[in-house]
Structure 1
Amino acid sequence: MSVKPKIYYFDGRGKVESVRWLLAAAGVAFEEVFLEKREQYEALLKEGALLFEQVPMVEMDGMKLVQSRAIMQYIAAKYDLYGKDLKEKLLIDMYVGGTMDLIDIILPHAFYSSEDKQKHIPIIVQKAKERYFPVYEKVLKDHGGKFLVGNHLSWADVHLLETILMVEEKCADILSNFPQLRVFKQRISEIPTIKAFLQPGSQRKPEPDDKYVATVRTVLQNYYNMKLN
């Protein structure tokens, strides 16, 4: 029996949520160890499990994987979600790079004050509407296929759907002017492994709440005075 991948992170989204999405899309069952106390993090540091003293960390195939992008590249390649040739891999990397940039704008939101959160939402919406979503709308239209790259589900598709749903949490009608993305969202959401991950009770995490923020601050002893620039 193969050993399930084991994720070490907080009981919340953060940098590892995209790893959860990719494993789920690949149909790979995984386990999670939630960091709740500073001592757990320090124990991982002491045993040398965190190469750059950062989480997430994923135990998989006899390795301790760190750096979220590297983890996802490995998973995508292992489970045939990384294109059929070098050109497709390049396109996937480019498209994932864009969605990662947008997610990186969203992730700090939970750590801002109430006042800054209200100021931050229009920034997220503006970036999505004007910089990022128009690119994927054009790619889908020009490509004329069901997926962003080639004729096969890839890491880029999974990551884009995750990103769309995150932005919709801030602005429900964000796709009103993006017909290709609306069809894409519906189509990718119906893929059986992804559909299962979107159901209540799955390992997909909800929007970060105050408990998640407090736990991250306690464990990492960081993120105390984040302000919107």
Structure 2
Amino acid sequence: MAGKPILHYFDGRGRMEPVRWLLAAAGVEFEEKFLKTRDDLARLKKDGSLMFEQVPMVEIDGMKLVQTKAILNYIASKYDLYGKDMKERAIIDMYVEGVADLEIMVLYYPHMPPGEKAAALTTIKDKARNRYFPAYEKVLKSHGQDYLVGNRLSRADIALVELLYHVEEMDPTIMANFPLLKALRTRVSNLPTVKKFLQPGSQRKPFDDEKCVESTKKIFS
């Protein structure tokens, strides 16, 4: 029996948080080895674990996978969260990429210079309210089903719900006009595996605070 996946990253959200969410939703237990210093990162580079000399990296099924999209694609395929055929996978990919466009802005926000944060927050909220959230609300309304694709849970639902939580942390009123997104968030959040992940003490990471930002500088600067 294969061991648990091992996630190599810093102790924060960043590009690894979607991986944590997807594994948790699939009911897969995982371990984490946190980078704390530049030397920790250097050791992974030196032993050949990082193909492109960067994290995140996930050890799974005898592989050392890097590149977040590749990691997520593998996990989604392995645990049947990637649609039933090529067409569904293409739609799922499209929805996930839309999430990623906004999510990366949210994840970088805590690490931005203080003088740039106000404008960045305005942009994030504007794009959420006027571009991304309306698009997903329209998808759910168009087919009247419980999930985004094929009326079954997929990585697209998980990615979107993760994003909804993250943006709500920045503006609790952000979803006021999106009842179907609210319903999707509730539906996914009530799945036993996700519900467990949302409980205090899980491996879900909090919004990156100043301490986390400083720790990443020690690793990557």
Provide TM-score, normalisation by structure 2. Answer: 0.98
Deviations, residues 20-52 of structure 1 (Å, cap 9, x unaligned): 000000000000000001111000000111111
Alignment of 1:126 onto 2:119: no
For structure 1, the 5+ residue unaligned runs are: 222-229
Give the Å deviation of 1:115.
Answer: 3.1
Structure 1 equivalent of residue 43 of structure 2: 43
Amino acid at match of 2:13: R
Structure 2 equivalent of residue 219 of structure 1: 219
Structure 2 equivalent of residue 108 of structure 1: 108
Deviates more, 1:30-39 or 1:173-182: 173-182
Give the Å deviation of 1:60.
Answer: 0.3
Alignment of 1:191 onto 2:187: no
Structure 2 equivalent of residue 30 of structure 1: 30
SS at match of 1:58: strand
Structure 2 equivalent of residue 227 of structure 1: none
Give the Å deviation of 1:121.
Answer: 1.2
| CA distance in 1: counterparts of 2:12 and 2:203, whole angstroms | 10
Deviates more, 1:179-188 or 1:2-11: 179-188
| CA distance in 1: counterparts of 2:151 and 2:126, whole angstroms | 31
| CA distance in 1: counterparts of 2:170 and 2:208, whole angstroms | 13
Structure 2 equivalent of residue 93 of structure 1: 93
Structure 2 equivalent of residue 202 of structure 1: 202
Deviations, residues 58-99 of structure 1 (Å, cap 9, x unaligned): 000000000001100000000000000011100100000000
1:54-65 matched pairs, under 5 angstroms: 54-65=54-65
Alignment of 1:177 onto 2:182: no
Structure 1 equivalent of residue 15 of structure 2: 15
Deviations, residues 124-165 of structure 1 (Å, cap 9, x unaligned): 100101110011000000121100000210000000000000
Amino acid at match of 1:192: P
| CA distance in 2: counterparts of 1:95 and 1:101, whole angstroms | 10
Deviates more, 1:174-183 or 1:4-13: 174-183
Structure 2 equivalent of residue 225 of structure 1: none
| CA distance in 1: counterparts of 2:126 and 2:13, whole angstroms | 22
| CA distance in 2: counterparts of 1:87 and 1:112, whole angstroms | 38
| CA distance in 1: counterparts of 2:26 and 2:186, whole angstroms | 18
SS at match of 1:109: helix
Amino acid at match of 2:68: S
Alignment of 1:82 onto 2:82: yes
How many residues align structurally? 221
Give the Å deviation of 1:6.
Answer: 0.0
| CA distance in 2: counterparts of 1:11 and 1:160, whole angstroms | 22
Q: Which runs of 4+ in 1 moved over 3 A?
A: none
Residue identity (%): 55
SS at match of 2:146: coil
For structure 2, the 5+ residue unaligned runs are: none
Cα-Cα RMSD? 0.9
